[in-house]
Structure 1
Amino acid sequence: MVLGPDGKPCKVCTGFRAWTGATKKKPASSSSSSDTSSTSSASASALAAASLASSAPSSTSNEEPSLPSDCPPDVERLGRHTWTFLHTTASYFPPSPSPHQKSSMLSLLRSLPTLYPCGVCADHLGQYMERDPPERAIESGRDGIEGWMCRAHNEVNERLGKDKFDCASVGERWRDGWKDGRCD
């Protein structure tokens, strides 16, 4: 279980399966606080990128617990919904945005490393933004920001051992629907 800055379990930093495992098994532990901190840090690193993880729902088997829809999101649900919002916002960004639209998009993206509930995930995004700042992509309009968002998401996918998404298909995935008509 990853702990938040307040010392309480951070649900948006941890997968639901970890909560259920933590609630079913409460081993008596005599580990030192540095061991606990190290474990929390390792868990945070392992789970961090999942909050910005795949846009596709994860598959579940009958054995895996399922987070009820009216519960606070875990790291995976938060990540899926965040990516859905960000990709859709990028895909509906104007091809030739006004100065106000450019400024608003930049404010949205620049706020994430500060405001995103999973701190380790936010740190990863902030580091990505330092390496590949979004300003030029925003200046290029829809195509630029769609590509930037796809590259950012693919970096997370790579960190999680997932397949990369074909960035040439972002318009179909997030705005127009697939050419085979299944979204119509």
Structure 2
Amino acid sequence: MNQEVDPTACEETACRTKVDLFRQLRGASSSSSSSSSSPSGTTTPRSELIALYQSRKDAVLQRPGQGECPPDREELGRATWALMHSVAAYYPHQPNVEDKRAARGLVSAIARLYPCSHCREDFRTEIERSPPKVESQEEFSRWVCEQHNAVNDKLGRQAFTCGDSGALRERWRFGSERCRESWRGEETAGESLGQE
């Protein structure tokens, strides 16, 4: 199941990543110029990157602002996992039938509509292997965490600890003391929406 996916096989913006851009730039610099070499004849990655930056900096500096472009797959992934973890953290401890249906519906909608086709297909495979566990807040939070870890494993990233429900709630619902301190005095959502 741990397959390499060619990012160029997907035409959608949501399949791209800034890392792909830098790989392409790096590839272009290697093929378009003879590598910058030290006196001993060995290639120095640092000098290559500096030369690459110098040759491409105008294009990089003229790129549109981040708010003007659609999210790439990394931005979309971070936002989706933040949403999923947050929904799970706020999920009822004793959900009713409608809550359970809604949680399964959210997971199903993501598996069906997610913009990155490679990510979407992988998520479908994972939820077929391990369907959403929605019997309690703790169970749903753990399931989301385990799904996130399955993706992190494929990407070679660090796994989260999923067994500590208190830590998951602190991270995704209550925040650390430092976070809570930074929020003091901020406008509430109701105030900002004109509801209070």
1:91 partner amino acid: A
Task: Give distance in 2, aligned partners of 1:2 and 1:113.
Answer: 21
2:90 partner amino acid: Y
Task: Give distance in 1, aligned partners of 2:157 and 2:15.
Answer: 19
Report the CA distance between 1:121 and its aligned residue: 0.5
- Does residue 72 of structure 2 align to residue 70 of structure 1? no
2:14 partner amino acid: V
Residue 67 of structure 2 aligns to a residue in which SS?
Answer: coil
Report the CA distance between 1:21 and its aligned residue: 6.2
Residue 153 of structure 1 aligns to a residue in which SS?
Answer: helix
Report the CA distance between 1:17 and its aligned residue: 4.0
1:18 partner amino acid: D
Give the aligned partner of residue 161 of structure 2.
166
Give the aligned partner of residue 188 of structure 2.
none
Contact residue 154 and residue 165 of structure 1 kept, 8 A: yes
Task: Give distance in 1, aligned partners of 2:139 and 2:22.
Answer: 41
Q: Which of these residues, 137, 140, 143, is aligned with residue 142 of structure 1?
A: 137
Aligned residues: 141
Per the normalisation by structure 2, the TM-score is 0.64
What RMSD, in angstroms, separates the aligned Cα atoms of the two structures? 2.7
Residue 138 of structure 1 aligns to a residue in which SS?
Answer: coil
The worse-fitting range, judged by mean Cα deviation, of 141-150 and 96-105 is 96-105
Task: Give distance in 2, aligned partners of 1:15 and 1:183.
Answer: 29
Which runs of no fewer than 5 residues in structure 2 stay unpaired? 1-6, 32-52, 181-196
The worse-fitting range, judged by mean Cα deviation, of 122-131 and 64-73 is 64-73
Task: Give distance in 1, aligned partners of 2:95 and 2:68.
Answer: 37
Structure of higher CA gyration radius: 2
Identity of aligned residues (%): 32
1:12 partner amino acid: A
Which runs of no fewer than 5 residues in structure 1 stay unpaired? 28-62
Give the aligned partner of residue 45 of structure 1.
none
- Does residue 14 of structure 2 align to residue 12 of structure 1? yes
Report the CA distance between 1:11 and its aligned residue: 1.3
2:160 partner amino acid: F
- Does residue 95 of structure 2 align to residue 100 of structure 1? no
1:90-137 Cα shifts (integer Å, max 9, x gaps): 100000112111111111101222100011101111111111111xx2
Q: Which of these residues, 3, 8, 16, is aligned with residue 2 of structure 1?
A: 8
1:2 partner amino acid: T
Report the CA distance between 1:19 and its aligned residue: 4.1
